[in-house]
Structures are given as structure tokens and as C-alpha cells.
Amino acid sequence: MGHGIIAWIIIGVIAGWLTGKIMKGSGFGFFVDMIVGLVGAMIGGFLSSHLGLGGVGDHGLIISIVIATVGAVILTFLLRLVTGNRD
């Protein structure tokens, strides 16, 4: 069962906000955190499906947020490696 566009926006906002709280330092701002959350959902979904756990759309909202947050944390870590931002 897949999520609709509104669910993806909610997942992206929550995952981006959680990533800003989990990662040391400040976030990127509301809109960029939302984009990081959405891209993180794609990364997390890719990783979870290749690990045999199913993609983001295969689960309920809470598990999708967890998977998206893990992907967003990975993305934020990689972005900070590239930009040299260690806040």
C-alpha cells in the first residue's frame, strides 16, 4: 500500500525535523529540512528494500517516518562530509 502526496509531505516534514533534532548542530531550515526528509525517504526506502525489510510505502506511517528519518540522517551526514560543516 503506497502513500499519497499529502502523506509524503508529512513524512518528509517529520523526518526532516527529527533529523535536525538527532544530528548535532542546527538544521538547514524548514523547507530544506523537508526536502532532506523526502530525499531521505527515498534513500531509506532504497536501503530497507535492499535489506529485505520492504520500502517506505510498504509500511504504515510510523515505520515510514522511521525509515525516512534513517535515510535523512545518512543524507545529512554525507552532506556535512561534502560541505565540511561539522556543527
Q: How far is Cα 33 from Cα 2, in angstroms, rounded to an integer? A: 22
Task: Kindly list the distances between the CA atom of residue 18 and the CA atoms of 1, 50, 51, 78, 82, in Å, as whole numbers in the listed order.
Answer: 24, 24, 23, 17, 21
**Pair 10, 60: CB distance under 8 Å:** no
Q: How far is CA 48 from CA 12, 37, 42, 52, 73, in A?
A: 17, 16, 10, 6, 14
Q: Is the pLDDT of residue 17 over 60?
A: yes
The count of structural domains within the chain is 1
Is residue 74 included in any domain, yes or no?
A: yes
Range of the domain at 59: 5-81
Task: Read off the pLDDT of residues 38-69 as tens digits, 9 standing for 90 and up.
Answer: 888 888 888 888 888 876 667 788 888 888 88
Instruction: Note the pTM of the prediction, 2 decimals.
Output: 0.79
- Residue 56 per-residue DSSP state: G
Instruction: Determine, yes or no, domain membership for 52.
Output: yes
